[in-house]
Amino acid sequence: MKTFKCAIIEDSNTQRKLLEQIIQHNKNLKLVHSSSATNESLALVNELNVDFLFLDIEMPVMNGFEFLAGLKITPQVIITSHDQKYALEAFEFNVTDFLLKPYSNERFNIAITKAIDKIKFIKNKQPENKITVKHNLKQVELNVHGILYVEALGDYVKVVTQERNYIILSTMNAFNKRLEADKFIRIHKSYIVNLKMVERYNHEFIEIQNKKIPISRAKIVELDQLLNCIE
């Protein structure tokens, strides 16, 4: 499990110490900064590029919302406050969770689990990589990561996605060059497949959404290697 860098911004020394102790007992968290909200602490939190920020709202020099507005990074923000009235405004800043003081270790751990899950989701979420193609005499944007497979159709290729099929004037070689080499493989003279979409395979064919696609013998070893590298 990765260790996540944490910062505490809290004006109460007592509350800071309590939170520091809780963090120190959590093997997934590493405390890198703890102070009240000031311009200096804001600059340092930005510089440290923390993963988690534990933030109070009512502070003398700069309140929590002013601190949030000054962030140049996007950590998982967990608000810690004595007053429930700040919850609505806090979530308008897209914070991860709101802990009402005093909170239990169990409630703290729930907030941490939620934050870690969000980080994992963001990390694993496939960014869109779009290419422009001509389909039915119109320019269409295709999200490359949504392609299931590509099939040769004479002077055309059929691009199969989860939503629909696109018939595009192109050779297989030309279209293959527009795809990411580590995400797609031409497993047969008539087929290119998205490695992420492969549901099962043997050394004769692969299966993508009940479609059996033949594998060229020359591609078996390369397919094995690439599929074993897919996260």
Amino acid in the structure at residue 50: V
What integer pLDDT is reported at residue 1 of this predicted model? 53
CB under 8 Å to 161, separation ≥6 — which residues?
Answer: 142, 143, 146, 147, 148
pLDDT at 92: 83
CA-nearest of 161, 207, 165 to 223 is 207
The predicted pLDDT at position 136 comes to 82
Q: Report pLDDT for 57.
A: 95
What are residue 54's phi and psi, to 5 degrees? Answer: -100, 120
Torsion angle of C-alpha atoms 166, 172, 173, 178, degrees rounded to 10: 20
Residue 121: its pLDDT value, please? 76
Question: How would you write the pLDDT of the chain (231 residues) with one tens digit per residue?
Answer: 578 999 999 999 999 999 999 999 998 899 999 999 999 999 999 999 999 999 999 999 999 999 999 999 999 999 999 999 999 888 888 899 999 999 999 999 999 999 998 887 776 655 668 889 888 888 888 889 889 999 999 999 999 998 889 999 999 999 999 998 888 999 999 999 999 899 888 889 999 988 999 999 888 888 888 877 654
- Predicted structure pTM score: 0.56
In the structure encoding, which two tokens stand for residue 161, read together? 């996605």
